[in-house]
Amino acid sequence: MVEQREGERLGDIDWTYDFASHGWTSQSGGHNPELIPKEVELLRQMEEAFKTGKSVKVRMYETLEPVVDVGMYDGWPYWRPVPSFCSTTWLGASWHDFTSIRAVVVD
């Protein structure tokens, strides 16, 4: 039997979320904990601008991508609600967790 999972947006960002839980520890992999505070601040800027109807773009790698949604998303790879944003490229829209944010541009 094949299990099919599909992520969905579950509401606005839950600012009580344990963002630090994504940091690496001596027991596991993860994300550089020194980057998390800046990423959370950029996520706040992104959400605030998006909610006020401003055009928002995010830099994840080397390109700027338009943001089409911001909220808690429970899809891959976590399969539990995580603060995330949805951006779009020529391939379509896709969700990314907050640890992917490198810069935010508000027009």
> How far is Cα 40 from Cα 23, in angstroms, rounded to an integer?
13
> What pLDDT digit, counting tens, does each position of 68-99 carry?
999 999 998 888 999 999 999 989 999 999 99
Q: What is the pTM of this model?
A: 0.90
Token look-up 């979320």 returns: 17
Task: Give the pLDDT confidence score for residue 5 in this predicted structure.
Answer: 77
E strand segments, 1-107: 56-59, 64-73, 82-89, 92-97, 103-106
What pLDDT sits at residue 61?
Answer: 83
Q: How far is CA 17 from CA 33, 70, 105, in A?
A: 15, 15, 24
Sequence ranges of the domains in the chain: 28-106
Residue ranges, the chain, pLDDT below 50: none
Amino acid occupying residue 48: E
Task: Say what the pLDDT of residue 53 is.
Answer: 95
